[in-house]
Amino acid sequence: MKFNFPITELESDTFLIQPDSSVIDLSIDEIAEESGYERGMIPDYFRDIIAESIAQCRSISRPVCGYRILSVNKEHSSPESIAIGDIRFNCQKIVKARLNNADQVAIFSCTIGSEMETYASRCFEEGDAVKGHFADVIASAAVEFLTDLLHNHIAESILTQQLNVTNRFSPGYCGWPVSEQKTLFSFFPNDFCGIKVTDSSLMLPKKSTSGIIGIGSSVKREPYTCNRCSQKECTYRMYRASRSGGR
Amino acid sequence: MSELIEKIGICVERGKVNKASPFPPDMKGLDGADEYTKLAIEAKTSADAILQACNDGMQRVGEKFGKNLVFVPELLMAAKAMHAVMAHLKPFFQSGTVKTKGTFILGTVAGDLHDIGKNLVSMVIEGNGWKVIDLGVDVKAPRFIQKISENPGCVVGLSALLTTTIANMANTIKEIKTTSPTTKVIVGGAPLTAGSAQEMGADGYARDPQAAVALLNSIGVS
C-alpha cells in the first residue's frame, strides 16, 4: 500500500507525513495470531472484541510519521557502530552488518498518537481487561503497520536514483541499546511527529517507533532473521511472525 | 452443595462470569460464577470452600496457559469470573471469616510508564485470592517503602519494560532491602531473565502472570 497523503519537507531532506487513521489496515486473524491463537482458532467472542478494537483504532488514532536522509561517515564507523557526521550509533554487530554497504541512512519515527493507549487503560479501569488487552495489541500492530508503510514509501522514493533500502532497525532491538533513542531524535527538529523521549529513553506517545534504514546501491531488504536475536518476546518479532505465519 | 462448588470452579476455569456473558460459547445462556456463588452462599456453603474452588479453577486455567492451550484473553476472563465470586465474598473478608492469601504491592518502577503487563498481573493475582495494592507506573522507591511499612508481611512486585529502567529496578530492590530486609520482592518484564533478577537481588522472577501466581504462592507471607 502507498501513502496517498501530502508529504511536507520541513527542512532539507526532512519529511513529515500525516496520513488519515483509516490507512491502518489490520486483520482480525493477524491480531489473533499475535495473541497466540492459531489461524481460525480464536473464539468468536474474542474475534468480535478484536473487530471492535480495530474499528476504534482506525477511528481515533492520529498517525504521524517522518524521516530524514543523512550521509554515513564510513571513516568514523566500526564493525559495531555507524557514524553520521561526528555522531556514532553503537548499534552492535547484528544491525551494523546489515548497514555495512549503506552510503546514506533514513532516520525515521512513527506514532499513532496516545488515543489508543488511553482507550486501553480506560477498558482496564472499567473492568474490561480483555478489551484493554486487545486494544494494546492492536495499537502496537497499528504503529508497526504504519512503519511498514513509511518503509515502503522511502524505498519507492529512492528507486528513481537506482538506490535500495535495508531492513529497518530500532534502538532497543537486536542488541542496540535503547538509550541511543535520544541520539536518534537529536537528528530531528524539536517535537518531530509529536514524539517526546523521556530520560529513560521511552517514547511518548508509547505507541511510537523510531529507527534507521540503510540506503545505497548495493544494499537490500532481506527476510527478517529474528531467530538470531535473544529477545523471544519482542513485540516486533511477534508482529513479523503474525504477518509471515510463523515464529 | 459440592455440586455448586464444583460449578463455581468450572466457571472460574472457563471464564464464565455470569448468565448474561456469551463466553465461553458452549456455556452461553447458562448460569455463571456470579449466580452459582450467590446460590452457594444461600445454601450456607462456607466462604473458604468457595474460595478454594476459585483457586482450583484458576490453578487449572493457569496450567492450560502454561501449556499454550489457552492464552492471555482466557486467563483474563477467568480472573473476571473470579472477581464476580469475590464480590459476593467481600463481606466475609471484611468480617475476617475468610482471609486473603496476603498483600501484594505492585508497581512499574521509576522512569517506566508501561502498565498493560502490570495490569494483567494485577488482575490474575487478585483473582487468585491476594489483596493487590497497585501503585501504578513510574513508582519511586520511597513510595514502595511507605506502602511496605503500612502493610507488614506484604510481597512486592516490580515491573519494567525498558532496559534503561532495569537500573532503577535494581536500586529500588536495594532500597527496599535496606529498610525492610525480610520483604520479598519479585520482578517481571520483557528485558529480564531469572539470572538478571537474581543478580539485582530479587527473590524471584516471573515471566508471565501465572508464573507470578505460582511464585507468590510458593513464597507465601511472613
Q: What span, in angstroms and rounded, lies between the C-alpha atoms of A224 and A246?
A: 12
- Say yes or no to pLDDT of B59 above 90: no
* B 6-45: CB under 8 A from A: 22-25
pLDDT band at A175; cut points 50, 70, 90: confident
pLDDT of amino acid A223: 77
Give the mean model confidence (pLDDT) for residues A214-231: 79
Query: Domain B2-95, what fold?
Result: 1.10.1240
Gyration radius (Cα) of chain B, Å: 18
Average pLDDT of chain A is 89
User: Quick check: A178 and B113 CB within 8 A?
Assistant: no
Q: Give the chain B residue nearest A125 (alpha carbons).
A: B119
* Number of helices (H), then strands (E), in chain A: 7, 10
pLDDT digits (tens, 9 = 90+) for B145-158: 999 999 999 999 99
Of A133, A172, A204, the CB nearest to B163: A172
User: Quick check: A37 and B83 CB within 8 A?
Assistant: no
Q: Give the chain A residue nearest B207 (alpha carbons).
A: A233
The CATH superfamily holding the domain B103-219 is Cobalamin-binding domain (3.40.50.280)
* B 92-131: CB under 8 A from A: 111-116, 119-120, 123
- Say yes or no to pLDDT of B1 above 60: no
Closest-CA residue to B52 (of B106, B99, B95):
B99
pLDDT band at A174; cut points 50, 70, 90: confident
Looking at residue A32, its amino acid is: A
pLDDT band at A246; cut points 50, 70, 90: very low
Q: Which residue has the higher pLDDT, A53 or B162?
A: A53
Pick among B21, B61, B71 to test the A interface (most A CBs inside 10 A): B71
How many cross-chain Cβ pairs, A to B, lie less than 8 Å apart? Answer: 72
Walk me through the domains of chain A, giving residue ranges and CATH numbers: 7-244 (3.40.109.40)
- The cell for B197 is 533478577
Give B-chain residues touching A177 at CB under 8 angstroms. Answer: 163
Peptide bond into A79 cis (omega under 30): no
pLDDT digits (tens, 9 = 90+) for A107-124: 999 999 999 999 999 998
How many CB atoms sit inside 10 A of residue B42's CB? Answer: 9
Q: Which residues contact B169 (CB under 8 A, 6 or more apart)?
A: B109, B158, B160, B187, B189, B200
pLDDT of amino acid A1: 58
How many CB atoms sit inside 10 A of residue A129's CB? Answer: 26
Closest-CA residue to A26 (of A149, A127, A108, A131):
A149
Q: Give the chain B residue nearest A182 (alpha carbons).
A: B164
User: Quick check: B164 and A129 CB within 8 A?
Assistant: no
pLDDT digits (tens, 9 = 90+) for A14-34: 999 999 999 999 999 999 998
pLDDT of amino acid A247: 39
pLDDT digits (tens, 9 = 90+) for A127-169: 899 999 999 999 999 999 999 999 999 999 998 899 999 999 9
CA distances from A123 to A37, A53, A67, A157, B86 (A): 22, 11, 33, 40, 20
B110, B172 Cβ separation under 8 angstroms: yes
Closest-CA residue to A65 (of A119, A6, A12, A11):
A6
- Say yes or no to pLDDT of A239 above 80: no
Closest-CA residue to A54 (of A146, A156, A134):
A134
A111, A207 Cβ separation under 8 angstroms: yes
Q: What span, in angstroms and rounded, lies between the C-alpha atoms of A41 and A43?
A: 6
pLDDT digits (tens, 9 = 90+) for A40-83: 899 999 999 999 999 999 999 999 999 999 999 999 999 999 99
- Say yes or no to pLDDT of A179 above 90: no
Which ipTM was obtained for this model? Answer: 0.84
Q: What span, in angstroms and rounded, lies between the C-alpha atoms of A20 and A61?
A: 9
Q: What span, in angstroms and rounded, lies between the C-alpha atoms of A200 and B79?
A: 32
Domain boundaries, chain B: 2-95, 103-219
pLDDT of amino acid A199: 86
CA distances from A63 to A32, A136, B166 (A): 23, 16, 30
- Say yes or no to pLDDT of B222 above 60: no
pLDDT of amino acid B85: 94
Name the interface residues of A facing B (CB cutoff 8 Å).
35-37, 43-46, 120-121, 124, 127, 129-130, 132-134, 136, 172, 177-179, 198-202, 204, 206, 231, 233-234
Helix (H) or strand (E) holding A212: strand A208-216
What does DSSP say about strands A203-204 and A87-89: parallel, antiparallel, or unpaired? unpaired
Percent of chain B with pLDDT over 70: 98
Peptide bond into B24 cis (omega under 30): yes
